[in-house]
Amino acid sequence: MDPRADIAKAAAALRAGELVILPTETVYGLAADAGDARAVAKVYAAKGRPAFNPLIAHVADIATARRIASFDARAETLAARVWPGPLTLVLPIADEAAVCDLARAGLDTVAVRAPAHPVARALLEAFGGPLVAPSANRSGRPSPTTLAAALEETGAAAAAALDGGPCAIGLESTVIALLDEPRLLRPGAVTRAEVEALIGPLSEAEADARRSPGRLARHYAPDLPLRLNAEAPRAGEVWLGFGPLGGTGFNLSPDGDLAEAAANLFAYLRAADRSQGAAGIAVAPIPHEGLGEAINDRLRRAAGFVG
Ligand code: TXA
Ligand code: MG
């Protein structure tokens, strides 16, 4: 089918208050019109997500973002350098109607991001306004990085689904709050070092932790229990390796490449979870540098430890 026809159909569904599964460069999202509270309510229902967890408003470009959020110099710098791309900025809300109260969980702030995936960009342009798009998993489960995984999670709630292939990054966007001092609310695809090189040191998220569902226990979790920093699998465990640490099962990156490991993380967690007769998943240590910070964050939460 002509992809432009798919995009037009999906944009029409969004205008009618329906949900659409959309690919981004990070993970697949479940999109709705950010200004339509009834549509946003369907997103929370499809995910089984507590309504106090706010959503990200996705936009086509910086100009649209400036209309809905108050940009300061730090936001301008980050957006100019990283967008379109896997970085979300939490800023004071400027247009309360464009991103409804329910999408913001009643906060006077809004999370905005301009995604880089060409299909996401085409849909945002065709729709012509901000779209909320949480990861298309049911709440607490690993984020989908393929259309098939997204359909399995929340496909029943979507009126349309766009295929963008496997997600190139595979980990959610980095979330930075720029309300007072810059804070890292969620480590992600853009590393701490990359952000700090542009706007200086990042504080930790303590003060905002309550607001960030990515910071709840048992997030991104498969059904099987996870054992982290394992040297080798024990009897009954499926192995999720990294680099030369061997074992039969899965290897996030045999060459020890963190970008490859990030791209494989959620798909391999899902696959390991389906292993016949397994009692648990043992995961090799991942170096805590660069993208490793975000990978370890997701693994700790998948294992049920709050960071
Ligand atoms: O990569 C991504 O960001 C993906 C793709 C689909 O774009 N989306 C995604 O959305 O991960 P979601 O809803 O699963 O995660 C939203 C994150 C949460 O950690 C949430 O707490 C935070 O953004 N967030 C949203 N609005 C916020 C606000 N006003 N203040 C603080 N945190 C906020
Ligand atoms: Mg999520």
Q: What is the pLDDT along the chain (307 residues), one digit of tens a residue?
A: 567 789 999 999 999 999 999 999 999 999 999 999 999 999 999 998 777 789 999 999 999 999 999 999 999 999 999 999 999 999 999 999 999 999 998 899 999 999 999 999 999 999 999 999 999 999 989 999 999 999 999 999 999 999 999 999 999 999 999 999 999 999 999 999 999 999 999 998 764 455 555 555 567 889 999 999 999 999 999 999 999 876 679 999 999 999 999 999 999 999 999 998 999 999 999 999 999 999 999 999 899 875 3
User: Taking the model in full, what pTM does it have?
Assistant: 0.91
178 token code pair: 């720029």
- Smallest CA-to-CA distance from 178 within 162, 194, 199 is with 199
Q: Tell the residue nearest (CA) to atom 12 of ligand 1.
A: 134
- The alpha carbon of 59 and the centre of ligand 2 are apart by a number of angstroms equal to 18
Using the 8-state DSSP alphabet, how is residue 99 labeled? Answer: S
The per-residue pLDDT for 307 is: 39
Residue 186 CB less than 6 A away from ligand 1: yes
The sign of the torsion formed by the CA atoms of 222, 136, 97, 81 equals positive
The per-residue pLDDT for 220 is: 81
Residue 208 CB less than 6 A away from ligand 1: yes
Q: Which ligand is nearest to the CA of 175?
A: 1
- The alpha carbon of 186 and the centre of ligand 1 are apart by a number of angstroms equal to 8
Write out the H or E segment, with its range, that includes residue 92: strand 87-92
Residue 269 CB less than 6 A away from ligand 1: no
Beta bridge partners of 30: 21
